[in-house]
Chains A and B, each alone.
Chain A
Amino acid sequence: MALHLVVLIKVVPDGKEVFVDPVTFTLNRSMATNIINPADENALEAALQIKDKMDAKITVMTMAPPFAEPFLMECMSRGADEAVLISDRAVAGSDTYPTSLTVAAAIRKMGDVDIVFAGEKTSDSSTGHVGPGVAEFIGAELASYSRKVTYEDGYVIAERELENGVEEVRIPTPAVVTILTDSNDPRRATLRKKIDAMKKGIITWSLADINIPADWVGLRSSPTVVKKMLPFPRKDRKAEKIEKDKIPELIDNLVKAGVIKLEAE
C-alpha cells in the first residue's frame, strides 16, 4: 500500500520585507508579499524525495484563510497529490496550541497517515511548536531538527542536526518530522503538475468537517500573549573595499583570523 505523507505548510510574509515599527513595536507586514514559509518548502521537498523512491501519496495541508490557495496549488505543482485547506472564521487569532490541535484532528480524520512533515519553525513567529504539538495530539513519535529523512519498513530514519553534532534516529510510524530550513534544494513546479493541480483543485475543510468545536480555537482559546516586540539592534558590519591586487593579502588575513582554512590540493 502506498505510504501516506502529509506536509504542513504556512503562508508567511516574506521576512525580507517585514520590520518592527520603531514607534509602536509591532510587526509591520504591510509592505511584504506572501511566501511559503521557507522551512516548509524543505519539508515538502523531503517528502517528495521519499515519493521519488517509493509508492507514496502526499497531502499538503494548511490552516489559513482562502488567500493560501495559490500556495497550496504551488505545492501540488511541485508534486504533492492533494491539498487540504482548513478554513474557518472561528480559527482567526489562533496561536500554536489550537492550531496543532486542529491540524491533528484533520490528520486523524485522514486515518491512514504514515509520516507528517513540518518545517522546523516559521519565519514569522519562530516558535517551532506546531510539529511537536501535532505529534503529541496524534500520539506519534517525533524527530525534530531533521535535515534528511528516509523510510524503511515501517520506520523513519532521520538525521537530526543538534548543537554539537548529528544524531540519527530510527522511529516507528506514524511519525512526525520537522525539517530544518535550507536542508535540501526544493524542486521547481512543472507544467504537467500545474495543469493536474488546476484540474484537481483544493479540498476545503471547515471545523465541522473535522469535528472541532468552534470554542476550542481562536483568540480566546490561545494561551499565548505577546507582551511586547523589540527591534533587534542592527550591528554595523565592517566593510572594506579591496582592489584586485590586494586579494592575496586578504586571504592571508582571513587565514590568520581563523575565518578560512587553506587546504593543499
Chain B
Amino acid sequence: MSEFDAIVVGGGPAGSSAAMRLASAGHNVLLVEKADPPGSKNVSGGVLWGNDLEAVIPDWQKTAPVERYVKAKGVGFLTKESNIGLEFRSGLFDKNRAGHMVLRAKLDQWLVKKAKDMGAMVATGVTVDRVAFDKGKAIGVEQDGDIITSDCVILAEGANPRVAIDSGLREPLNDKDVAIGVKEVIKLSEKTVNERFNLRDKEGFAGEYVLGFLPDQVEAGGFLYTNKDTISAGVVISMKHLRENDRTYSFDIIEQFLEHPAIAPLVDGGSVEEYSAHMVQEGGIERVPKLYGNGYMIAGDAAGFSFSNGLVLQGMNYAIASGIAAADTFIEAKKGSGVSEESLAGYRKRLLDSYVLKDLYNFRGIDEVTWGRLPHRAMPNALEHIMKGLFIEQGVPKKHLYQLMTEALGESGIRTSEAVLEGYRMLRRM
C-alpha cells in the first residue's frame, strides 16, 4: 500500500489545481513545494487568462487575490524615439472578463492554502530530488535519500524541470527552447495607476511591446501590466541571443525598456518593490516531452505548455487546465482498472480534446516567426517611417500611403523579398 494516492511536485498553478481536484474528490494527496511561502520564487508578468480555475474554485473571480481585470489590451512597436501602438479597449471585456492581473506571490499562496483546506497535505520548503521507480513504474518521490510512496506522481515543477530531467523523463532544455523573463513590480498609488492608464475601479491595462531599439542582435519583448497600486513590468529575452551577445545582461534590457520615452512617464516616480527572473518555455509542441508513463504525469510548464506569440504570453491557464486534466485522469484510473501506463494515456487524450494541446499543435513553429528580424527590427522601423510620413509635417508634398509603405520596406533594414516571405509566414503561423 502506498502512503499517498498521489504526490504532486510543485505548488504553482498546475500543481495546486491538480491537488485541489484530487483532494476534493476524496483522494489522499501530498503537495510538495520547494518555496516557503509558496509563490515566493515564482515570476509571472501576471495576466491569468481564461476561466479554468472555475472547475476547482467556482467563485474564484470574487474570492481570489486578483488585482484588476483586463479592460484594455495594447500592443506597441518601440523604436528609439517612437511607440507605434494599437489598443483594444472595450466594453466587451466588462461582460466577459477574459483576463485578470495577478501577483504570483499572493495567488500561489492562496491556491496552495485552498488545496490544504480541501484536504491535501502540503509540505512547503522542501525540494523533491527525483521520481522513484521500481520495475519501470513510478512508485513515489525521492527526497534526501528517503522514498515517499504514492500510486501516482504528478510533476508540476515549472519551467526548469529538474526532477523530470534527473529522472530521465524528459530531455534537458536547449537554449533555443527557453527565454529568460525578468520582472519588476513597481509601486505607485492606485490613483496614479488609474490616471496614467486611463482606468477606473478594477479596470486594468495589459500591454505588450516589441523592443525594436535594442543594440546588436538582441531580441526581446516587453510587457506592462497594471495591478491595483503597482505595475508589473518586464522583458522576455531569447536565451540564444543572451548567450550570443554576452555583453547584454537581462537587467540592462529591462532598464532600457523602462527608460524608453514612451514607457518612462508611465512608471515615473515608482519604487521597485520586487525584482525577479525566471525561465519561460518557448519550445512549442516539438519540445513537449512524453506526458505520462506508468505511474506519472507531467503538467504545466514542466511539460512545455505555454504559449507566446509576441502579443500575449500565457502559461498559467495551460498550467491550471493540464493540472486538472491530470487529476481527472488519475481519478478515472482509480475508479477503473487502476493506475497503469494505459489508464494514464487518457491524460494525453484529455489535453488533445482541450485547447492545451490544440493550441500547441495549431501554432507549431510560432517561435520561428515571433523571434526574428522582421518583427523585432523591420516592423518597428517600417511602421515608424509610415507614421512619420503621415503625421509629421515637413513642408514637402504629401505622399500616398502606398508610396510610404514601399519606402518603409526600404527603411526596414531587411530585404523586400525577405520581408514579404517572412510576413507571409508570420501571418500563417499566427
Contact = CB atoms under 8 A, between A and B. Distances in A.
Contact of B128 (A74, A77, A188, A191): A191
A191 B146 contact: yes
A192 interface: yes
B127 to A, nearest CB: 9
Interface residues of B, number: 13
B187 to A, nearest CB: 15
B125 interface: yes
B32 interface: yes
B198 interface: no
Contacts of A190: 126, 143-144, 146
B199 interface: no
B148 A191 contact: yes
A191 B143 contact: yes
A192 B143 contact: yes
Contacts of A189: 125-126
10 nearest A-B residue pairs (beta carbon): A192-B146, A191-B143, A190-B144, A194-B123, A191-B126, A191-B123, A189-B126, A191-B148, A198-B121, A189-B125
A33 B126 CA distance: 20
Interface string A194-221: 1100100000000000000000000000
Contacts of B121: 195, 198
7 contacts: A77-B125, A190-B126, A190-B146, A191-B148, A192-B143, A192-B146, A194-B123
B43 interface: no
A190 B128 CA distance: 9
B6 to A, nearest CB: 14
A192 B125 contact: no
Chain B CB within 10 A, most for which of A190, A191, A194: A191
Interface string A88-100: 0000000000000
Interface string B143-172: 110101000000000000000000000000
B8 interface: no
B210 interface: no
Interface string B107-140: 0000000000000010101101000000000000
A36 to B, nearest CB: 13
Contacts of B128: 191
Nearest to A197: B123
Nearest to B3: A195
Interface in B1-49: 3, 30, 32
A247 B334 CA distance: 66
A189 B125 CA distance: 8
Contacts of A191: 32, 123, 126, 128, 141, 143-144, 146, 148
Interface string A71-84: 00010010000000
A190 B30 CA distance: 14
B115 to A, nearest CB: 14
B148 A195 contact: yes
Nearest to B124: A194
Contacts, number: 34
Contacts of B30: 195
Nearest to A33: B37
Contacts of A74: 125
A188 B126 CA distance: 9
A155 to B, nearest CB: 32
Nearest to B142: A191
Contacts of B126: 77, 188-191, 194
Chain A CB within 10 A, most for which of B30, B121, B123, B141: B123
Interface string A169-192: 000000000000000000011111
Chain A CB within 10 A, most for which of B3, B32, B121, B144: B144
Interface string A46-81: 000000000000000000000000000010010000
Interface string A229-241: 0000000000000
A186 to B, nearest CB: 13
B192 to A, nearest CB: 23
A195 B125 CA distance: 12
A194 B144 CA distance: 12
Contacts of A194: 123, 125-126
Contacts of A195: 3, 30, 121, 123, 148
A257 to B, nearest CB: 35
A189 B30 CA distance: 16
Contacts of B148: 191-192, 195
A198 B146 CA distance: 17
Nearest to B121: A198
A194 B143 CA distance: 11
A223 B405 CA distance: 86
Contacts of B32: 191
Nearest to A187: B144
B32 to A, nearest CB: 6
A191 B31 CA distance: 11
A189 B126 CA distance: 7
A232 B123 CA distance: 40
Contacts of B143: 190-192
A191 B32 CA distance: 8
A189 B143 CA distance: 10
A189 B127 CA distance: 10
A194 B127 CA distance: 12
A76 to B, nearest CB: 12
Contacts of A77: 125-126
Interface in A118-158: none
A74 B125 CA distance: 9
A87 to B, nearest CB: 22
Nearest to B143: A191
A97 to B, nearest CB: 35
A190 B32 CA distance: 11
A97 B3 CA distance: 45
Nearest to B126: A191
A131 B417 CA distance: 82
A260 to B, nearest CB: 32
Contacts of A188: 126, 144
Nearest to B7: A191
A42 B35 CA distance: 22
Interface in B242-282: none
A80 B144 CA distance: 17
